[in-house]
């Protein structure tokens, strides 16, 4: 499998010198934010990771290779190109075989991070069980990946467009621990709280690192969700965002939007209905997760 991997000079040097590395997804660059805000955010997030003692490894598919770490030019190309494929587990073989450019989702980034022996991955929010999944069976591949891939995902919980209760039930069934960092409840992406408790609370990075090390020492395969609430000053009012999401969901239903098209549509609609406030919140929570991811990678060693 290593024949499909290529490392940036920075990441290669980090691995040779046993420096901590943090994986970053690329879907947020190509599908999650408009240009040039997406590239600016990606560069700033990488800087935050470096400033906190780790090395960033933004992951994407280019020229038939899984790129572990992108150059500045590659970041720019990814963020300013049309037709970049959204790559999840099922898409990786085809996109690599046909040498297409692909931006990795949470699930695909976890797979690539594990291939590159990177244990910590910082992102915005994980996918989950979509509302109405009892009839549509629309469940993100992220959850299945968390059940079998040994990578911890630092996130602001699950995206609030999802069914958070069913998402936690699915993770529990798969034996995936959900650890709240300085929180007792699952954050809901744009907001700091929800009605759903996490499995465990950790008030310091050392506790999270020790828990992950013990899990993997015991050969308990699979990842973990490290739920890190959006900073309070950037959180959105819960009632406001709930109302907006309900409106967006109704519009998606009316337009017969399903499957992998649902999330980008809903997130775009939320940005529109919040007049851009949700995009700013998204950026701030990604930055916050990058900082925690770097600290956790350093602690994990």
- Which is catalytic among the residues 119, 159, 215, 287? 159
* pLDDT score at 135: 84
Provide mean pLDDT across the span 68-80: 96
pLDDT tens digits, one per residue of 34-44 = 899 999 999 99
| Predicted pLDDT of residue 208 | 98
Q: 143-164 as b/e, with b when 16 or more CB fall inside 10 Å? A: bebbeebbbbbbbbbbbbbbbb
- Percent helix, strand and coil across the chain, each to the nearest 5: 50, 20, 30
Residue 198 pLDDT: 98
SS3 (DSSP) at 123: coil
Q: Under DSSP, is residue 264 helix (H, G, I), strand (E, B) or coil?
A: helix
What is the token pair recorded at 184?
Answer: 């007792």
**Binning pLDDT at 50, 70 and 90, where does residue 136 land?**
confident
Catalytic residue list contains 287: no
Location of structure tokens 């209905």: 273
- What does pLDDT average to over the chain? 95
pLDDT at 53: 98
Query: For 96-109, b where at least 16 C-beta lie within 10 A, e where not — what string?
Result: beeebbbbbbbbbb
Is the pLDDT assigned to residue 17 strictly greater than 80?
Answer: yes
- Specify the 3-state DSSP secondary structure of 185: strand
Contact 68, 6 (CB under 8 A): yes
Residue 294: the pLDDT is 99
pLDDT above 70 coverage of the chain, percent: 99
Q: How confident is the model at residue 185 (pLDDT cuts 50, 70, 90)?
A: very high
pLDDT band at 160 (very low <50, low <70, confident <90, very high): confident
pLDDT at residue 260 above 90?
no
Choosing from 10, 25, 46, 114, which is the catalytic residue?
25
Per residue in 167-183, pLDDT (tens digit) is 999 999 999 999 999 99
Q: Which of 211, 202, 169 has the alpha carbon at shortest distance from 183?
A: 202
Q: Tell me whether residue 159 is one of the annotated catalytic residues.
A: yes
Question: For the residues of 149-175, what is the DSSP string, one character each?
Answer: S--EEEESBB-TTB-HHHHHHHHHHTT
What is the phi/psi pair of residue 176, to 5°? -90, 120
pLDDT of residue 157: 97
The arithmetic mean of pLDDT across residues 52-79, rounded, is: 97
pLDDT greater at residue 265 or residue 98? 98
Cβ atoms of 186 and 226 within 8 Å: the answer is no
Tokens read off for 175 = 């034996």
Task: State residue 259's pLDDT score.
Answer: 74
Instruction: Map 127-148 to HEC letters.
Output: CCEECCHHHHCCECHHHHHHHH
Residue 2 pLDDT > 90: no
Q: What is the mean pLDDT of residues 264-289?
A: 93
């Amino acid at each position: 499998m290593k024949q499909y991997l290529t490392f940036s000079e920075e990441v290669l040097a980090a691995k040779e010198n046993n420096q901590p590395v943090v994986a970053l997804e690329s879907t947020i660059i190509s599908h999650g934010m408009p240009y040039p805000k997406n590239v600016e955010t990606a560069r700033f997030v990488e800087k935050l990771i470096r400033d906190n003692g780790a090395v960033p490894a933004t992951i994407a598919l280019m020229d038939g290779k899984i790129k572990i770490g992108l150059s500045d030019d590659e970041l720019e190309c990814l963020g300013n190109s049309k037709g970049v494929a959204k790559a999840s587990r099922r898409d990786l073989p085809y996109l690599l075989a046909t040498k297409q450019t692909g931006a990795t989702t949470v699930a695909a980034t976890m797979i690539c991070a594990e291939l590159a022996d990177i244990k910590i991955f910082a992102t915005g929010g994980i996918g989950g069980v979509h509302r109405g999944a009892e009839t549509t069976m629309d469940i993100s591949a992220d959850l299945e990946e968390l059940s079998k891939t040994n990578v911890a995902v630092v996130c602001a919980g699950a995206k609030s467009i999802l069914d958070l209760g069913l998402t936690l039930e699915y993770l529990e069934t798969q034996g995936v621990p959900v650890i709240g960092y300085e929180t007792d409840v699952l954050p809901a992406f744009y907001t700091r709280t929800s009605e759903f408790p996490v499995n465990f609370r950790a008030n310091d990075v050392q506790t999270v690192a020790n828990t992950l090390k013990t899990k993997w020492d015991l050969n308990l395969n699979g990842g973990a969700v490290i739920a890190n609430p959006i900073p309070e000053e950037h959180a959105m009012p819960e009632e406001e965002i709930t109302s907006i999401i309900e409106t967006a969901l109704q519009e998606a239903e009316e337009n017969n939007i399903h499957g992998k098209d649902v999330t980008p549509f809903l997130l775009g609609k939320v940005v529109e209905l919040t007049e851009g406030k949700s995009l700013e919140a998204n950026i701030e929570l990604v930055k916050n997760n990058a900082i925690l991811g770097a600290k956790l990678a350093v602690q994990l060693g």
